[in-house]
Amino acid sequence: MARHLITSAIPYINGIKHLGNLVGSQLPADLYARYLRARGHELLFLCATDEHGTPAELAAAKAGKPVAEYCAEMWEVQAKLAEGFRLSFDHFGRSSSDQNRKLTQHFAKVLDEQGLIREVSETQMYSKADGRFLPDRYIEGTCPNCGFDSARGDQCDNCTKQLDPVDLINPHSTISGSTDLEMRETKHLYLRQSAMKDQIEEWIDTREGWPVLTTSIAKKWLNDGDGLQDRGITRDLDWGVPVQKGDEPWPGMEGKVFYVWFDAPIEYIACAQEWVDAGKGDDWARWWRNDKGAEDVRYTQFMGKDNVPFHTLSFPVTILGSGEPWKLVDYIKSFNYLNYDGGQFSTSRGRGVFMDQALDILPADYWRWWLLSHVPETSDSEFTWESFQSGVNKDLADVLGNFASRVTKFCRSKFSEAVPEGGTPGEAEAKLIADLTAKVREYETHMEAVEIRKAAAALRAAWVLGNEYLQEVAPWSTFKTDPEQAAMQIRLALNLIRLYAVISAPFIPDASAELLTAMHAEDAGWPDDVEAALTALPAGHAFDVPEVTFRKITDTEREEWQERFAGVRT
């Protein structure tokens, strides 16, 4: 049985993420991890906060706090929200960790020794008032394309045009507001990605079964224009991993830090070291070093499509270029964008639902189910309040929740709070077992292929089978003429609740745990044999009638939320 390493794209530290961010990496990664654990696989599921770079400095300055203090506080916030959404990371690390600093400097040293780093002299904007070079996002001005007066030095948020700081009209420093800017020469290190183009292309061509979205983006970056370009890996910033060759200084690079997109993916490896140092594991190398056993690991990454170029090209250049036996990714599950109610989620404008707000409104399972069953796998998808209300009310409340409620309450009313005995299964039961076995196997196939929407559809279809069985055999009617036969029907239905709780747990872990507790079946295992699973609770087994598993969302609530989250976040 393969060991599985799972990572999701690490969220940036500057603020609370919205639902589009959540469903683009962390949530589907958690679904897959929970499924594999339930099937008995050994796995390591890692994530972290991405803490370096200009946005972290800007966010800290806006908050009026030292950047290290700001990042530490936001890590706590993001860790708490991850727990709130039941993201089952084995470790949630930090890219500002000592482990990542040392490992980033190590990779820089070995890449330099391999001849894959070159020094480049270039001109950048310098602020006399601030006494420093200004990275792109520290410069704002008027967009020459559309006239927007808050365009950044790298891009205009209004018209999306890519810019250079020199393109801006009346540029100024976002630190001091000074317009006393000039272009000055500075030196930076570049990773010679172009030298690795053929090796990277060959590696991508050997990946099997990757989503079309992943491979098409990688190929586009490889082959458009001049192909894979060398990329700067240092910046003139105060906050970040200091530029060194391992433990040694890097002459001419004093006061510089590594570019966030160089050190951030390395945090995946460092996070495993943090996991060990935190006392949670005992051997990180068997997950990441092929000479220590990682060749037996299947490594799956989850990310939004905007992160694909860095994970299919830049990070593999770092890994392969090092010449060391590091584990490379086996499968990259990439996602399109989740849009919000006719437009886009917007962090700056507070448009849409953010993770903290979502948990204030409803428990995590409501969001988990809708987001995962509508995950933007093959194209962009859209969150609307009408769709969310329908998904919760029809799928969770009417199909699954209502089934559990009807069965347990009927049994308590007509028998007791224990599984009843008597009766003989017939054709209806045989058909249900056959149909349910097929649906569970279909669900497993989709989950193993990381086809999330198809897996959600198969799971819902399994729930529907139980409801259709109840409608067909109508135990409430059978009870009037043949109580023993009704007892058999309810016994089967009670076992169905147990089975549903087990197979639904990757999607809705809290509700599944509550149902298993109600059925006094907390130790229930995966239904490899569906027929056997439907007799796991024997006659006389006690249960409790569960509380309302899922409540319905009212039209009034939907309208209130739609209005509340349309505007600027306070």
Number of other residues whose CB lies within 10 A of the CB of residue 349? 13
Q: Label the pairing between strands 231-232 and 234-235.
A: unpaired
Asked whether the beta carbons of 357 and 565 are under 8 A apart, the reply is: yes
Annotated binding residue at 143? yes
CA separation (Å) from 459 to 93, 462, 495, 498, 506?
32, 5, 16, 14, 11
φ, ψ of residue 390 in degrees (nearest 5): -65, -45
- Sequence-separated (6 or more) residues with CB below 8 Å from residue 72: none
Residue 159 labelled as part of a binding site: yes
Euclidean distance between CA atoms 127 and 331, whole angstroms: 44
Distances (CA, A) of 441 to 416, 418, 444, 446, 465: 33, 30, 5, 9, 14
Structure tokens at 259: 């570019």
Do residues 224 and 163 make contact, with C-beta atoms less than 8 angstroms apart? no
Place of tokens 């009843």: 420
Phi, psi of 172 (to 5 degrees): -145, 160
Cα Rg, the chain, nearest whole Å: 27
Distance CA 41, CA 38 (A): 8
DSSP secondary-structure letter at 328?
A: P
Q: Hey, what are 455's tokens?
A: 């897996």
CA dist 376 and 452 (Å) reads 10
- Name which of 482, 477, 347, 452 is nearest 25 in CA terms: 452
Is 156 annotated as contributing to ligand binding? yes
Cβ neighbour number for residue 477 with a 10 Å cutoff? 10
Residues 6+ apart with CB under 8 A from 40: 1, 526
Largest CA distance in the chain: 93
Helix axis angle for 67-84 and 54-63, nearest 10°, is 100
Helix runs in 206-346, H state only: 212-223, 260-277, 285-288, 308-309, 315-321
Residues 6+ apart with CB under 8 A from 287: 3, 5, 44, 272, 294, 297, 327
Q: Is 287 exposed, middle or buried (0-12, 13-18, 19+ CB in 10 A)?
A: buried
DSSP letters, 421-438, are: ------HHHHHHHHHHHH
Residue ranges for the binding site for ATP? 347
Q: Residues annotated as binding site?
A: 143, 146, 156, 159, 347
Which residues make up each annotated binding site for Zn(2+)? 143, 146, 156, 159
